[in-house]
Amino acid sequence: MTTSDLSPPPLAPPPLWIRLAVYPIAFLLAKLPTPFRRGICISLGWLIYYGMPKRRRLAHSNLHHAFPDWDRDKRSRIARRSSVSLVELGAFSLVSPFLSKKWLTTHIRVPSTSRVTIDEAFTNGKPTVIFIPHVAMIEALAVFPILHPLIHVGGLYRPLNQKALNQYVVYSRAKHGLELLSRKEGFSRCLTLLRNRAAVFILFDQAAGNPGATTLFLNRVCSATDLPGILAEKFQANLLMVYPRRTRGWNVEIEATLLEAEPNTRDITRVSNAWVEQMVQRSEAECADWQWLHNRWKIHHLPTDRLRFIQKKSFLPDTLPPSYRIWIDCPESIENPAHLEDFCQAILKSRPDAEITLMGSPRLLENPAILSPHHLLKMSPSQDAGYFKAYRESFPDLYLNLHDTPDFDQRGIWLDIPERFGWSHEKGDRPHLSHTFAIPDPAAWEALPELERWLTFARHFGLRNE
C-alpha cells in the first residue's frame, strides 16, 4: 500500500568521516568501466580464496558435504567463483548509492513472467512476506521500489556491530525507497506494514544459530531462519520468493515465485529451504552465487554444545542422514573394546546426525565388539603426517582424541580438522587441540572407569541423553 501512514521515518545520513573516507572510493568504483570493475572483484575474490586457507577449506568442506560425488576440480571452480561473488556482494553494496536510476533499471530487469507474479501477490488484498535467499546480488533488491513503485516495501535486516558502517549500509539500501527495519528496533514497524497489507523483505538463511529452528538443508542439519514463516502464518500472507539471478557481472534478472505451503511455520520453512536447494543445483553459476565461504550449517556458537542440539524448535524428521563427521582417535590401550561401542552409541543418541569414523589399530577395530556400521581407519601408531594428510579430502568436522597424553594430538592438525577436542591434566599441556576439558581432580579422574571418563569428557562438549 502507498498510504501516508506507511511513510517511513526520515533517514539520517552516515557520519561525516564515513562520507569522507568511503564516498570517494565508492564513487570512483561506480564510474569505472565494467571490465575494470569486474577485474577488481575477480582479483580480490581470488586473493580471498588463495590467501585465506581457513575460508578455502570451509568452502570445500561445505561443497563436499553437499555434493560428495563432485571431484576436487569442480569444487575448486565453484569455490573460486563463490569467493568472487562474495566480493561483488560487498562492492555492489558500496557503490549502489552512486548508480543512477537509469543504470539500475537497465541492468536490473524484471522479466514479464516475474512481473505478473509480483502483481498477483501485491493486488490480491493480502500482505506479502518476501523471501530473499542469501546469494551474491541480494543488495540489488534494495532498488525494488524503483522497479515496482506501487507497493510500500520494508526490509528486515540484522544491524552491523559497527554503528557508523551500519548507518552507511542502511543509507545506501534505503536511498531508492526501501525502508530498512532493524530486527532489534524495527520489528513493531514490520508488524504495522503487514497489518496494512504491505510487503516485507526478509533475508532467510541456514545459519540462524541458537534462535533458529533445526531442519535439513542439502541432507545436513542446519539452523534455519523461521521468522518469515512465523510472520506469514500470523498474517496469512503471500509467500513470494524473490531471487536476484545474476546473468553476468552486475546484470540481474529478478526471478519471482509464489510458494505453496501449508499455513504453518514448519511447512513454510521447509518449502522455502527446498526452493533454495533446487536453485543451487540448477547450474554451476547459480551454485557459485550462494555463499559457500560462510559456515552455513553452524547450528551452535559454543564448542560446549557440539555434541547435542539445543534449538528450542525442531523441524527435523524422525531419521537423520549421517552428515556430521566425527573422527575418534582410539588408543591401543583400551581395556574393553565394548566400551568404545557404548561410547559411539552415546554420541549417536545425542547427535543422531553423526557419521563416526574410528581411528585405531587393526587389532582394536577388528574386535567383534565393534558392531555398528562406523567407518574404520585402521593404522599403526607410527603413521606420519603424510599418511593423515591423504585423508584431508574427507573433510571431517570434529576430532575426538581419547589418548591420555599429547603424543598423538597432531593427527587432528594433519587431517586439517578445525575443531579438535581432548582432555588436559594441566593448563596448556595439549596445545595442538583446539579445545580441552580440564580435569578438575586428577585422582578422581583416574579412579573413574574407562567408559565413564570418556562420557565425562564428552558431556563437557554437550553430550546428552546417553
Per residue in 276-307, pLDDT (tens digit) is 999 999 999 999 999 999 988 988 889 999 99
What pLDDT score does 6 carry?
A: 58
What pLDDT score does 9 carry?
A: 60
Residue 229 and residue 266 in contact, taking contact as beta carbons nearer than 8 Å? yes
162 vs 120, residue with greater confidence: 120
If we measure between CA atoms, which residue out of 223, 398, 221 comes closest to residue 325? 398
- Per-residue CA distances from 290 to 82, 130, 219, 285 (Å): 7, 18, 17, 9
Tell me which residue has cell 564428552: 458
Q: Which residues contact 428 (CB under 8 A, 6 or more apart)?
A: none
Q: Which fold does the domain 320-460 belong to in CATH?
A: Rossmann fold (3.40.50)
- Mean pLDDT, to the nearest integer, of 163-175? 76
- Positions of E strands within 218-279: 220-224, 238-248, 251-258
- pTM to 2 decimals? 0.91
What pLDDT score does 278 carry?
A: 95
Of the listed ranges 200-209, 347-356, 384-393, the one predicted with least confidence: 200-209
Residue 253 and residue 217 in contact, taking contact as beta carbons nearer than 8 Å? no
Per-residue pLDDT of 444-464, as tens digits, reads: 999 999 999 999 999 999 999
Angle at 108 between CA 9 and CA 150, to 5 degrees: 45
pLDDT at 70 over 50: yes
Task: Quickly state the pLDDT bin for 403 (edges 50, 70, 90).
Answer: very high
DSSP reduced 3-state for 380:
coil
If we measure between CA atoms, which residue out of 322, 385, 354, 379 comes closest to residue 458? 354
What percent of the chain has pLDDT above 90? 58
pLDDT at 331 over 80: yes
What pLDDT score does 3 carry?
A: 43
What pLDDT score does 323 carry?
A: 95
Task: Quickly state the pLDDT bin for 8 (edges 50, 70, 90).
Answer: low
Of the listed ranges 116-120, 309-313, 360-364, 427-431, the one predicted with least confidence: 309-313
How far apart CA 287 and CA 242 sit, in angstroms, is: 16
219 vs 146, residue with greater confidence: 219
Can you say whether the dihedral through the CA atoms of 369, 374, 375, 379 is positive or negative? negative
Beta bridge pairs of residue 279? none
- Positions of E strands within 345-451: 354-360, 375-378, 398-401, 419-424, 435-438
Residue 34 cell numbers, joined = 565494467
Residue 464 cell numbers, joined = 546428552
How far apart CA 190 and CA 183 sit, in angstroms, is: 9
What pLDDT score does 97 carry?
A: 82
If we measure between CA atoms, which residue out of 296, 100, 115 comes closest to residue 216? 296
What pLDDT score does 43 carry?
A: 96
Task: Quickly state the pLDDT bin for 169 (edges 50, 70, 90).
Answer: confident
What one-letter code names the amino acid at 380? S
pLDDT at 1 over 60: no
Q: How many CB atoms lie within 10 A of CB 414?
A: 18
What pLDDT score does 14 carry?
A: 76
pLDDT at 5 over 80: no
Task: Write out the DSSP string of 296-337.
Answer: TT---SSGGGTTS---SEE---SS----EEEEEE--TT-S-H
Per-residue pLDDT of 77-88, as tens digits, reads: 999 999 999 999
Helices (H), 100-186: 101-107, 112-122, 144-147, 163-174
Instruction: Report domain extents, the chain.
Output: 4-289, 320-460
25 vs 14, residue with greater confidence: 25
If we measure between CA atoms, which residue out of 320, 370, 328 comes closest to residue 458? 328
- Mean pLDDT, to the nearest integer, of 385-399? 95
Of the listed ranges 100-109, 258-267, 344-353, the one predicted with least confidence: 100-109
What one-letter code names the amino acid at 304? T
- Mean pLDDT, to the nearest integer, of 306-310? 91
Backbone angles phi, psi at 226, to 5 degrees: -110, 0
If we measure between CA atoms, which residue out of 407, 413, 412, 436 comes closest to residue 424? 436
**What interhelical angle do 163-174 and 16-31 show, nearest 10?**
50
What pLDDT score does 145 carry?
A: 79
How far apart CA 171 and CA 176 sit, in angstroms, is: 9
What pLDDT score does 10 carry?
A: 63
Beta bridge pairs of residue 254? 244
Residue 50 cell numbers, joined = 588463495
- Mean pLDDT, to the nearest integer, of 328-337? 92
- Mean pLDDT, to the nearest integer, of 152-181? 77
pLDDT at 322 over 70: yes
Q: Across the chain, what does the average pLDDT equal?
A: 89
Residue 419 and residue 398 in contact, taking contact as beta carbons nearer than 8 Å? yes
How far apart CA 448 and CA 456 sit, in angstroms, is: 10
Q: How big is the chain, counted in residues?
A: 466
Task: Quickly state the pLDDT bin for 252 (edges 50, 70, 90).
Answer: very high
What percent of the chain has pLDDT above 70? 97
